């Protein structure tokens, strides 16, 4: 892991000559090849999963770029439901199938934090802030996330979130065409900043755009080298380091500004300050959860809005939200759409929207390209007759169940009316076993508010880059492990503002 104190090295690299950058890149390549070739361990333990053929570093680089394809090819090449490969000197085991899924999610020694730390690498890393955290500090962050989702706090977020929707959607104009995987994601990033940080940041569109740009730099800078050799100051790592330092500075300045002002505001930062949390906990909470929330919820919102473009469920959602308005908003008031929706209480959003619930569930099934990552911190364990040694990393791709035609017939078809799967852990959209998405209550609310504003505020349909209507929505790209975006330019939303005032 790297520290913020290396920013000078990052700045120096970014200003260095092309020759210097190429030389450093070649050095990194040499190190990777030195560690990578011959990394497959000789003399596999009896009962161990079969090794993926060609399991050297160059053969497994698609794990970072085309993970869905890489894992599927692994099952195909080995002909097994479990296989293993080496990530430098670390053992990585991929499991699939019903019994393996049950064992994976039920094992109390399979640790999420250790698994994600080694195999992901796409979050801001600051020692003691977002990495190398003590168990007590991790528990404290989880506790604060639960506090953010208490009734009173969530209820207070409804109006500000809807106001963010109104302001951002107004910038789209009365009609036009846009890429939903850009514009909807940008909107969700704004909402995530609103929900999980502070008014000082959320009320400043320039600062929000800057934060998004910096987090995008972190995403684009995640390479095999930055994950496997995080201590090596290569080009991508230095760019990530620079972006992390800039994000850190923005968040710290906002905290300092709040403390200097002495003004209490109804936001998440104030809650953290009122709890007298350590500065590192506050900064880590905001740095880590901003990107985690924006990626996951932004991906889901982009696909949910896209799937509803020309789907029969669109009218059902509109009718459901209009019924909410009829039940909870006086017909005699002339509020804007965002004001009307903000009058609907939290309990109604959570308990009176079965159509929206089914849509969110189906979107998570078909368009969240997750691979669950764990590390076995306990003793050796057996799964489907194969030994998972202590210290090994264990992966379970969600596609194994969510795109399984035996569990979900015609799995690539968007069908919110599907019956729930009856097999164990047949749906893991919000996690499974002892590990669930701790922010799902907030995420559900955000998705419902954004979808309601979009469907009642605009008429829209799916078109291609020439403006011609699409016969069907694009297929999610599970190789894009962060955003699941389809092929660039394959889908746009052609929109026209409704008669309602946003």
How far is 153 from 163, CA to CA, in rounded Å? 16
Q: Which of 70, 123, 114 is nearest to 94 (CA)?
A: 70
Q: Which of 356, 331, 355, 351 is nearest to 343 (CA)?
A: 331
Counted residue by residue, the chain has a size of 502
The β-bridge relationship of strands 492-497 and 458-463 is antiparallel
How far is 303 from 298, CA to CA, in rounded Å? 9
Question: φ, ψ for residue 397 (rounded to 5)?
Answer: -80, 130
| CB 392, CB 376: distance < 8 Å | yes
How far is 299 from 297, CA to CA, in rounded Å? 5
| CB 376, CB 391: distance < 8 Å | yes
| CB 407, CB 401: distance < 8 Å | yes
Please report which residue ranges of 368-461 form alpha helices under DSSP H.
399-402, 440-457
Sign of the dihedral defined by the CA atoms of residues 271, 300, 366, 348, in that order: positive
The dihedral region occupied by 16, where left means phi > 0, alpha psi between -120 and 50, and beta the remainder, is: beta
Q: Is 198 annotated as a binding residue?
A: no
Return binding residues: 437
Specify binding-site residues for heme: 437
């Amino acid at each position: 892991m790297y520290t913020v104190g290396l920013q000078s090295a990052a700045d120096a690299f970014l200003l260095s000559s092309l020759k210097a950058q190429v030389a450093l890149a070649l050095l990194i390549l040499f190190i990777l090849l030195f560690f990578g070739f011959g990394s497959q361990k000789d003399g596999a333990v009896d009962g161990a999963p079969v090794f993926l053929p060609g399991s050297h570093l160059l053969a497994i680089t698609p794990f970072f770029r085309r993970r869905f394809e890489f894992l599927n090819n692994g099952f195909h090449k080995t002909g097994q439901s479990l296989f293993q490969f080496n990530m430098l000197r670390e053992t990585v085991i991929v499991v699939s199938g019903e019994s393996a899924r049950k064992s994976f999610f039920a094992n109390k020694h399979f640790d999420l934090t250790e698994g994600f730390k080694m195999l992901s690498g796409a979050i801001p890393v600051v020692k003691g802030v977002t990495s190398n955290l003590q168990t007590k500090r991790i528990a404290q962050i989880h506790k604060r996330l639960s506090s953010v989702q208490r009734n009173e706090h969530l209820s207070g977020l409804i109006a500000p979130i809807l106001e963010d929707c109104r302001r951002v959607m107004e910038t789209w104009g009365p009609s036009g065409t846009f890429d939903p995987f850009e514009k909807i994601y940008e909107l969700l990033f704004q909402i995530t900043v609103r929900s999980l940080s502070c008014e000082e940041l959320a009320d400043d569109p320039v600062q929000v755009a800057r934060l998004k740009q910096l987090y995008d730099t972190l995403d684009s800078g995640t390479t095999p080298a930055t994950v496997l050799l995080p201590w090596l100051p290569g080009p991508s790592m230095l760019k990530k380091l620079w972006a992390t330092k800039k994000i850190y500075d923005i968040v710290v300045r906002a905290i300092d500004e709040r403390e200097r002002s002495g003004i209490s505001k109804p936001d998440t930062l104030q809650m953290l300050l009122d709890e007298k949390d350590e500065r590192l906990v506050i900064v880590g909470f905001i740095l880590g959860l901003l990107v985690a929330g924006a990626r996951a919820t932004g991906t889901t919102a982009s696909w949910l809005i896209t799937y509803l473009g020309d789907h029969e469920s669109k009218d059902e959602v509109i009718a459901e939200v209009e019924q909410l308005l009829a039940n909870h908003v006086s017909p005699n008031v002339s509020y804007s759409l965002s004001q009307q929706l903000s009058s609907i209480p939290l309990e109604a959003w959570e308990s009176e929207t079965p159509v929206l619930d089914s849509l969110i569930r189906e979107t998570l099934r078909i368009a969240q390209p997750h691979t669950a990552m764990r590390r076995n911190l306990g003793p050796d364990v057996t799964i489907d007759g194969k030994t998972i040694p202590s210290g090994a990393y264990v992966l379970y791709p969600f596609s194994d169940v969510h795109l399984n035609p035996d569990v979900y017939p015609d799995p690539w078809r968007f069908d919110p009316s599907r019956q729930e799967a009856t097999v164990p852990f047949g749906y893991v959209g919000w996690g499974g076993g002892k590990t669930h998405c701790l922010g799902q209550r907030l995420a559900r609310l955000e998705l419902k508010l954004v979808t309601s504003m979009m469907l009642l505020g605009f008429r829209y349909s799916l078109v291609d880059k020439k403006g011609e209507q699409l016969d069907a929505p694009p297929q999610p790209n599970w190789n894009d492990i962060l955003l699941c975006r389809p092929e660039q330019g394959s889908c746009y939303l052609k929109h026209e503002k409704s008669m309602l005032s946003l």
